[in-house]
Amino acid sequence: MEAIRATLPEWLLEAFLAATLLGDLLLVAPALALFYLVDVGSSIRRGRREESLCSDRTATLIATVFGGLALVVLLESVFALPRPPAEYHVIEPSEFGFPSGHTMAATVFWGALALWLPRGRRSVRLGVAGTIVALVAVSRLALGVHYLVDVVASVAFGAVYLAAIGWLARGRPLRAFLAALGIALAAAAATGINDRALLAVVGTVVGLVGWWFVERPPIRRRVYGAAARLGSSSS
């Protein structure tokens, strides 16, 4: 971290401030909402009422990211390791430094997209995801808020989590959501229900209940019917 800070010109810090957002909740949460809406819109356009509104692939991806974000909170609480000294900080960080939440969130989010999005070649997707994760990891070092071990361990934690949830869920959203909820509850217990743990629990519960409710056959048929009527009146 010191070596990177010593060799970087000051003007590059602004670029790293932008790069670190690639692993920030401010980007991840809206991106998940966008994927959901695009998937639902695609289902409505097809008009096949027997189909799910949100595909199992997208629902599993969303649940996987929820679980990964909850795991960050849990691990930070369990290890409770400090960050580098404050004189290195370019930004105001949260309390604990291990693992790097931004790096792990980037690993889970971009890794999940690379593994499960049906667009382009998988090798290309993995290469792009790896580049983004590396950029986020270096940005956390350049901003002086993490040690090298923090970001390296975060990538490892994220990769192991993706492999585990992929094996456990096997494309079934309910399994992924239940695993995410279990992790969020463990994080709440470990932290004494702090703000971040509470957000993880509430977000996971809302995601699980919302997905289950909307995908119930009577509700799904009503959504398809309302969309069809709206399309007819517009034309």
Q: Give the H or E element holding residue 163.
A: helix 148-169
Domain count of the fold of the chain? 1
- 209 within a domain of the structure (yes/no): no
Q: pTM for the full model?
A: 0.88
Q: At what angle do helices 148-169 and 101-116 cross, to 10 degrees?
A: 40
Confidence of residue 110 (pLDDT cuts 50, 70, 90): very high
* Contacts of 122 by beta carbon, 8 Å cutoff, 6+ apart: 114, 115
- 178 within a domain of the structure (yes/no): no
- 30 within a domain of the structure (yes/no): yes
- 120 within a domain of the structure (yes/no): yes
Structural domain range at position 24? 1-35+94-151
Q: At what angle do helices 148-169 and 56-79 cross, to 10 degrees?
A: 140
Mean pLDDT of the chain: 86
- 138 within a domain of the structure (yes/no): yes
- 213 within a domain of the structure (yes/no): no
Q: Of 107, 112, 158, 94, whose CA–CA distance to 135 is shortest?
A: 107
According to the model, what pLDDT value does residue 74 have? Answer: 92
- 207 within a domain of the structure (yes/no): no
Average pLDDT over residues 117-131: 87
- 201 within a domain of the structure (yes/no): no
Q: Per-residue pLDDT tens for 1-31?
A: 788 877 877 778 888 888 999 999 889 989 9
Alpha-carbon distance of 85 to 91, in angstroms, equals 12
Q: Per-residue pLDDT tens for 188-215?
A: 888 877 788 888 888 899 888 888 888 8
